[in-house]
Structure 1
Amino acid sequence: MSVASHPTSAHFERDARQMHDDKPLSPGSIAIGVIIGRMSEFFDFFVYGLASVLVFPRLIFSFAADPVTATLYSFAVFSLAFLARPIGSLVFMWVDRTYGRGMKLTIALFILGGSTASMAFLPGYESIGVWAVALLALFRLGQGFALGGAWDGMASLLALNAPKSERGWWAMVPQLGAPIGFALASALFGYFYTSLSDADFLSWGWRYPFFVAFAINVVALFARLRIVASREFGELFENHELSPSPVLETLRVHGRDVLLGAFAPLASFAMFHLVTIFPLTWVFLRGGQSAGEFLFVQILGAFVGIGSVVISGAIADRIGRRRQLMIGAVLIAIFSFSAPFLLEAGGKGQDAFIILGFAILGLSFGQASGAVSSRFSLRYRYTGSALTSDLAWLVGAGFAPLVALGLASKFGIIFIGGYLISGAICTFAALTLSRILDSSEHQSAAER
């Protein structure tokens, strides 16, 4: 096998593949690397997300008129990463084509870990004024920019190396990174929040999880580079299944498929931050139980989510991923009617919201990645999937905490139910349209 013919495969990657040519990676080995990689990304984002509720409104936005307004400012900065992510994808696609996947991942993960770790050194508004806000926004933009470059195609590598009858099972593996990353971030914050006085936590305790993020990213980088150096990766790279294509060309050929792919998982993405970041916000601002206790309830919810993500893989292989997502959208729509009342029902109701919410989220989110990726032709699959993911996170999750808190504080908690229903409707419509287009194209091909 020769990979030297492909200009985007860096020299050190080619040499590494030749060294490992007799050591094929099993799907299990790839799965471990994928989980570690996704976990590191979600850990970075959840560390910020939890701090945007517990720390930044009081440390960075202390000038706000009230705690709700301060938290809304914090969530506005939270959204910046999702705006920066598509820009990062554009820049790092060029790095990928020019210098190789390994160089791209190394730069992206060091920026991601560095941006997260830099937040640990942030002084408060009382110390440097508006510069504290500017630095927080800069580091948050760095997180989002780097996450655009962290897209590695390894989830596709895992799926393409799995038996066709088990594609749903292996498709859920990368999604495990989200609840694992959330559980780890919540455990660290929960420990420091409950072990320290409020003054010590706000002064230095919250900073430790941000330091941990950099170390986790270094481990994730080596796990990913091992896969980039594998024979399996090189073969799929040569066949263009994991190689980047120009973004504008991809959009010209598959713009409609990118749009469909972005809206297909909208139900689970809309719910994503409404069972992780938003409920902690509501408890912290409105009460029902202490934020420290609730963090540990959320850890339990994350483990429930892990279980339901695994179950989603078994179900999807029986009924199909598209049908699985449709069922998930229906469950989320049903949940939306009870969610507001559970959050207002005190501690037990809030606990039920988390456990039930994570169980439903896992069934949907477990199959949300690349639900319509089969519509992309071979040459454009890698870039198309990356653009689809960027747009889906931006539309579905990027503004969820900001919109949910804004609606709930101004009009009442009942309005978050409407937000969830809108996501479920978008998912159902996108999947239905995708199925109609597939049927039409298959019929046209048969007639030809």
Structure 2
Amino acid sequence: MKKGRILFASLAGSVIEWYDFYLYGTATGLVFSTLYFPNHDPAISILLAFATFGVGYAARPLGSILFGHMGDRLGRKATLMYTLIGMGGSSMLIGLLPTYAQVGLLAPILLVIMRLIQGISLGGEWGGAILLATENAPKGFRGLYGSIPQLGVPIGLVAGSFSLSFISYMTTDEQFMSWGWRIPFLLSVVLIALALWVRSGVEETPDFKQQKESGNLAKVPIVETFRNDWRNVLRAIGLKIGDGFFNVFAMSYVLVFTTVYLDYSRDTALTALTIGCATMLVTIPIVGYLSDFIGRKTIYLGGLTLLFLLSVPYFALIGKGVGWLYFMQAVMLGIIWAAVFSTQGTLFSELFPTKVRYTGLSVGYQVAAAIVGFGPMIWTPMAKSYGPSPWIFGGFMMAGLALSLVLSLFVQDTRKMVNPRYDESVKHVGS
């Protein structure tokens, strides 16, 4: 099987999953806070809307357990087909939901249900996409291959943001709030059909085939993961917490923060986000390639250190003018955070043996995601009480990054410790 098709299959699904996920995040502050959570106090509306955004993150650990079980028992390919269907179907239905003005309390309830399905699906997608790429990687290129699915995040976010921006530009404010915002959600159907077609032509990974042929499949993967690899699950959670909070802020909440508290226009905020994501498209594959030569740990530790040192300057400078906002998004999100993110999938996957790799990788990452997903619910009252204070918000980020930094010191560079087929010696890496 051609490696190019494998990489495209891992990327295509990742793009669409993140398109749907971040489309919701973009629409949260711009649309849902008004149409589904109306309140005389805008801050309350935003808080309630972002609570549903956080629900999607909270559901991701459940998805990691459910689809991790399927991925370690039935295979990576079959599981990834189900995650696509769940994500695309829920996104399409969001585009058809009635508003609060039409059906009252039922509207936000239905929105939360759809968001739960989104989160569960994404909880299984990320880990599977990483394994589809890394378990097919040739010797010495696992870091590069593992970085390719990560490109789905900036591409999906830009696509979701651009679709809303384009529809907003083509319609009046009244038309956009009435029906225009629904179009990008409905387009998910077309994208999902394309991704399903691409993935249907991909074979199961060699690692899972070998594991299945040996007859040594985990009976209950989540149980075996916590019995033998609980330390590495905790490591993955801690390693993700620090950059995770910054990620949620810089790729989602920044739209609210810059428009509500820094008085930038919606177009300016979206442009800044797009600049950061466009920069990531270059950074991620380059750093993924470099990680195969200088090591995942070196890059990870360096990226976290820079994020820690620049947290307060980031918040101090993004309010100084449009130029500074664009520059800091490019540097902090597009280069430094992207470098950390580029190595994450490969690094975390190398912590677990084949028989529980889908579950271990997914649970560690998604539990952390569930925690950081409620960042906006913390930041909204913070901003209301203290304003856009660089010391308050920067200090918050530094606290999470400090945890990840400490843990990264004790994680060994798995690049040098495992063979190209991820032998069972990784089972106790760092134990």
With the length of structure 1 as denominator, give the TM-score of the two structures.
0.84
| Correspondence for 1:37 | 13
Are residues 1:421 and 2:395 paired? no
Contact 2:348 2:361 in 1 (8 A): no
| Correspondence for 1:109 | 84
- Write the deviation string for residues 270-322 of structure 1: whole angstroms up to 9, x where unpaired: 22121111111123323543202432332222111111112212332232101
Cα 1:333–1:232, aligned 2, differ >3 Å: closer, same or farther? closer
| Correspondence for 2:422 | none
From 389, 403, 410, the counterpart of 1:433 = 410
| Correspondence for 1:275 | 250
Partner SS state of residue 275, structure 1: helix
Q: CA deviation at 1:402?
A: 2.5
In the TM superposition, 1:81-230 aligns within 5 A as 81-93=56-68, 95=70, 103-150=78-125, 153-228=128-203
- Structure 2, unmatched stretches of 5+, are 418-424
Q: Which deviates the most, 84-93 or 67-76?
A: 84-93
Cα 1:94–1:379, aligned 2, differ >3 Å: closer, same or farther? closer
- Structure 1, unmatched stretches of 5+, are 1-24
Partner SS state of residue 384, structure 1: helix
Cα 1:128–1:89, aligned 2, differ >3 Å: closer, same or farther? same
Contact 1:153 1:382 in 2 (8 A): yes
From 368, 374, 377, the counterpart of 1:402 = 377
Q: CA deviation at 1:227?
A: 2.0
Equivalent residue pairs, number: 415
With the length of structure 2 as denominator, give the TM-score of the two structures.
0.88
| Correspondence for 2:338 | 362
Letter of the 1:254 counterpart: D
Contact 1:404 1:419 in 2 (8 A): no
Distance 1:100 1:424 in 2: 35
Cα 1:370–1:259, aligned 2, differ >3 Å: closer, same or farther? farther
Distance 2:53 2:283 in 1: 27
Q: Which deviates the most, 344-353 or 225-234?
A: 225-234
In the TM superposition, 1:298-313 aligns within 5 A as 298-313=273-288
Distance 1:337 1:202 in 2: 36
Cα 1:221–1:151, aligned 2, differ >3 Å: closer, same or farther? farther
Instruction: Percent identity, please.
Output: 28
In the TM superposition, 1:63-74 aligns within 5 A as 64-74=39-49
Partner SS state of residue 369, structure 1: helix
Q: CA deviation at 1:231?
A: 6.6
Distance 2:32 2:69 in 1: 34
Q: CA deviation at 1:183?
A: 1.0
- Write the deviation string for residues 29-66 of structure 1: whole angstroms up to 9, x where unpaired: 2111111111111101011000001001111111x232
Cα 1:141–1:234, aligned 2, differ >3 Å: closer, same or farther? same
Q: Which has the higher contact order (CA 8 A, sep 6+)?
A: 2
Cα 1:232–1:377, aligned 2, differ >3 Å: closer, same or farther? closer
Q: Which has the larger radius of gyration?
A: 1
Contact 1:241 1:382 in 2 (8 A): no
Contact 1:240 1:379 in 2 (8 A): no
Distance 1:123 1:417 in 2: 39
Distance 2:216 2:185 in 1: 35
Q: CA deviation at 1:181?
A: 0.5
Cα 1:99–1:31, aligned 2, differ >3 Å: closer, same or farther? closer
| Correspondence for 2:23 | 47
Q: CA deviation at 1:392?
A: 2.5
Considering only aligned residues, what root-mean-square deviation do their CA atoms show, in Å? Answer: 2.8
From 202, 226, 236, the counterpart of 1:261 = 236
In the TM superposition, 1:314-333 aligns within 5 A as 314-333=289-308
Q: Which deviates the most, 125-134 or 142-151?
A: 142-151
Contact 1:245 1:383 in 2 (8 A): no
Partner SS state of residue 434, structure 1: coil
Cα 1:332–1:213, aligned 2, differ >3 Å: closer, same or farther? same
Distance 2:211 2:397 in 1: 38
Contact 1:190 1:296 in 2 (8 A): no
